[in-house]
Structure 1
């Protein structure tokens, strides 16, 4: 039963994340975000925090180019802090 409850809460969290991402990102950016989320959930969470604050400040959705720039900035910041990141080509 506990495993079912964990799966349900995990599914609920994922549904909330998708709902928030749909509200914050334009369509291509949403697709990019979900791909990054599957590959690196931690980096995707960091990017989502930045994007939510930027979207609230600007009053508009985040474009794919903006998301790409944010992800690159987070990757370079991670590289400077000594963590290793694998990027898809």
Structure 2
């Protein structure tokens, strides 16, 4: 009876290891399929340079809600404008 228990542990471990290995191979195959897809949008071979000083207009955010975890909103109803050529960062102070 002791012999059957001493075999059960290693066999159970190898069974679990084998299942995880199979899952990893399936995940890897899906990832490789994704990487092999041709992009729908391509960059221009020689894009024109961008001069921020010549930009006009603005980007407007109105009533934006964002959360990393849907149960805990990070931003609630925030609105702001970003003028052309400007850079904005949102940072949280702890």
Q: Same fold (TM over 0.5)?
A: no
Structure number, greater radius of gyration: 2
Flag the structure with more relative contact order, 1 or 2, with Cα contacts below 8 A and sequence separation at least 6: 1
More helix per residue? 1
TM interval, shorter chain, is under 0.3
TM-score of the pair, normalised by structure 1: 0.25
| Bigger proportion of residues as strand | 2
Tell me the TM-score normalised to structure 2 length: 0.24
